[in-house]
Amino acid sequence: MLSADAVKAAARDCRFTLVGLTPAVPLDPGPLERWLAAGYAADMDWMARRLPERLDPAEILPGARTVIALAIAYHRPAGEGGPVARYARGRDYHYAHRDRMKALRRRLLALDPGVETYAAVDTGPAMEKVWAERAGLGWIGKNGCLIHPRLGSWLTLSVMFVDREVDAYDAPAERRCGDCALCLGACPTGAFAAPGVVDARGPASRAGSSAATSARRSARSTGARPRRGTRASRPGRWRAWRRPRWRRSTRTPSDACRRAWPSPAPSTTACAGTPSTPSARPAIGGRDRSSPPSSTTRLRR
């Protein structure tokens, strides 16, 4: 058995902003099965694969006893604007989580040399958001995002399964959305089938796309052209921004909910190791880091 305080201290020493612990018991399959049956996954057909592994950590790591839920905050000052979304500025968060989880793995081995772990960030079968809620990192709001009372939803998540119990587990966070429904009304695509249920098919989004197509056809037929100096008149330059590592800064369904929560005070813990500007990504471990990251890692000795 591991000490919960020792595990949390190790995670914080590895520069994770938040850490929580919860038993590795199977998840209720009902919500995921209903979501898939309703077709809300749209073309994300991989969500229907490996269901046992999504729901039960023991299917991934035999003997799993504890889930360590981890988060790194990425909030930026309100006045720091730009064409790149906040989470995509600086270092790729997949690499940030991966390297910090490797460091955490080494610290856990120092506590118990026989410990076995499985770590995942974003693309593995582990459902990071659900485990984060169970571990007390926050609650899943009506916008489908994990919300922390102080940091809002400006978080990237990862999890680590461990085949050891700890002496104390965290309680799930209290859901505090109450009667607030700002995010539901602010969603530009009408993507919420119900509070907390995201419909990835986006019927309103498809209608908006059709309207945009009609507008472009109308502009071509009337000879209208974009004003000089706009991004629309410089497609080559705009495409230069559309590299796989970056995302356009657009309004998301969670913006209204984020505005409802005050911006967190600057914290060296939350921003440690995160450069303020994008930089070249050097090779790590002899691999060219310009290639897509491997977001799921089985960490063993």
Give the count of domains, the chain. 2
Report pLDDT digits (tens) over 141-184.
Answer: 998 999 999 998 889 999 999 999 999 999 998 888 888 888 88
Asked if residue 201 lies in contact with residue 166, where contact means CB atoms within 8 angstroms, the answer is no
Is 59 in the same domain as 143?
Answer: yes
Is 121 in the same domain as 212?
Answer: no
Cα–Cα distance for residue pair 158/295, rounded to 1 Å = 10
The pLDDT value recorded for residue 250 is 44
Is 168 in the same domain as 116?
Answer: yes
Residue 23: how many other CB atoms lie within 10 Å: 14
Cα–Cα distance for residue pair 180/196, rounded to 1 Å = 12
pTM attached to this predicted model: 0.67
Is 212 in the same domain as 91?
Answer: no
Asked if residue 204 lies in contact with residue 211, where contact means CB atoms within 8 angstroms, the answer is no
Is 132 in the same domain as 152?
Answer: yes
Residues belonging to the active site: 122
Report pLDDT digits (tens) over 92-120.
Answer: 888 889 999 999 999 999 999 999 999 99
